[in-house]
Amino acid sequence: MASRGDFHNHSTFSDGVLSPTELIELAYGNGVRVMSLTDHDTTEGLPEAFRAAARHEDFTLIPGIEMSTDVPGSEVHILGHFIDWKDPTFERKLEHLRESRLNRAHLMVEKLGELGKPVTWERVESFAGEGAVGRPHIARALVEAGHVADVNEAFSLYLSRTGPAYVERERLSPSEVVETLNEVHGLATLAHPRELDGLEGLLSDLKAAGLVGMEVYYQDYKPDEVERLRVIAEKFGLIPMGGSDFHGLGGPQQREPGNIPLPDEPIERFLALARQRGVLEKV
Ligand code: AMP
Ligand code: ZN
Ligand code: FE
Ligand code: FE
Compute the radius of gyration of the chain from its Cα atoms: 18
Q: Does position 91 have pLDDT exceeding 80, yes or no? A: yes
Query: Do 9 and 262 contact (CB within 8 A), yes or no?
Result: no
For the chain, what is the total number of helices (H) and then of strands (E)?
10, 7
* Tens digits of residue pLDDT in 136-169: 999 999 999 999 999 999 999 999 999 999 999 8
Residue 55 alpha carbon to ligand 1 centre in Å = 31
Residue 40 alpha carbon to ligand 2 centre in Å = 6
User: Which residues contact ligand 1 via a Cβ below 6 A?
Assistant: 15, 40, 68, 134-136, 151-152, 155, 160, 247
* Tens digits of residue pLDDT in 164-216: 999 998 889 999 999 999 999 999 999 999 999 999 999 999 999 999 999 99
Instruction: Report the nearest atom of ligand 1 relative to the CA of 105.
Output: 3
The share of the chain scoring above pLDDT 70, in percent, equals 100
* Tens digits of residue pLDDT in 56-66: 999 999 999 99
Widest distance between CA atoms in the chain: 56
Instruction: Report the nearest atom of ligand 1 relative to the CA of 138.
Output: 3
DSSP 147: S
